[in-house]
Amino acid sequence: MANPARHDGRRSDELRPLRIRRRYLRTVPGSVLIEAGGTRVLCTATISDDLPKWREAAGQGWLTAEYNMLPASTTPRKQRERGGKLDGRTAEIQRLIGRSLRAVMDFAALGPRTMTVDCDVLEADGGTRTASVTGSFVALVDALHALPDGAALARSALTGSVAAVSVGIVAGRPLLDLDYREDVAAAVDMNVVMTGAGRFVELQSTGEEDTFSEKELAAMLKLARGGIAELAAAQAKALGKARPR
């Protein structure tokens, strides 16, 4: 077979089954449960009418993000991170989420407000950081719409959409949207963040067990571009009329 199916039956260029559930919580204006295969992440977005001290002089808004894996999200149980002490992986992921969302924000239009995004992993089966970015954008839109004149603010404060996906090389094959089983076997692992307009925000690529060629890089980027186009369409469908124009 020229293109054998993966262990879960997917093609090399196929995303895992995706579900985006808006308004998952009643307590916050923006909340999304995003499910990508066996990975489930709760993304929430809240807005406050204040700014960090270092941002006040600019008179423009800001966005910050936090990421956490709940103890039962993995086997064996993951220890909680307490006392404000984050492990290196957690700190790196939440910085990625923040950078990704800020890439499509117009903070002058947002005004003196702070947006806080929280991503809590309920179940982890690979791709938790990329699912967090994709789900958080939808939560962000809903949080903006909850403000007075929210539809107009969403149109002015958001310059586009953003989504993320993983790609990698497993047993010599470039694959899209790795689950945990594929991720741990990957010789090369990459996370790609792009806007809905097809512009790159960030590339995180590592040769875990091997180097990779320019041809392999191009193949992974082609897979990522196709996957993110599908994710952007899923975001738009989930948002419906709330989608920023």
What are the extents of the domains in the chain? 18-242
Q: What is the pLDDT of residues 98-128, one digit of tens each?
A: 999 999 999 999 999 999 999 999 999 999 9
Q: What's the pLDDT band for 173 if we cut at 50, 70, 90?
A: very high
**pLDDT, position 243:** 87
Q: In what order do the strands lie in the sheet with 173-176?
A: 173-176, 162-170, 188-195, 200-207
Which one has a higher pLDDT value, 143 or 149?
143
The mean of the pLDDT values for the chain is 93
Q: Which residues in 145-209 belong to E strands, given as ranges?
A: 162-170, 173-176, 188-195, 200-207
**pLDDT, position 195:** 97
Q: What's the pLDDT band for 1 if we cut at 50, 70, 90?
A: very low
Which two structure tokens, joined as six digits, stand for 42? 């709760």
Give the CA distances from residue 17 to residues 128, 173, 221, 230, in Å, rounded to whole numbers and listed in that order. Answer: 14, 21, 21, 11
Which two structure tokens, joined as six digits, stand for 190? 């990459």
What is Dmax (Cα atoms) for the chain? 62
Average pLDDT for 180-186? 95
Q: What's the pLDDT band for 83 if we cut at 50, 70, 90?
A: low
Q: What is the pLDDT of residues 185-228, one digit of tens each?
A: 999 999 999 999 999 999 998 887 788 999 999 999 999 999 99
Contact 115, 143 (CB under 8 A): yes
Q: What's the pLDDT band for 2 if we cut at 50, 70, 90?
A: low
**pLDDT, position 81:** 78
| CATH classification for the domain delimited by 18-242, as one of 2.40.30.30, 3.40.228.10, 3.30.230.70, 1.10.3720.10 | 3.30.230.70
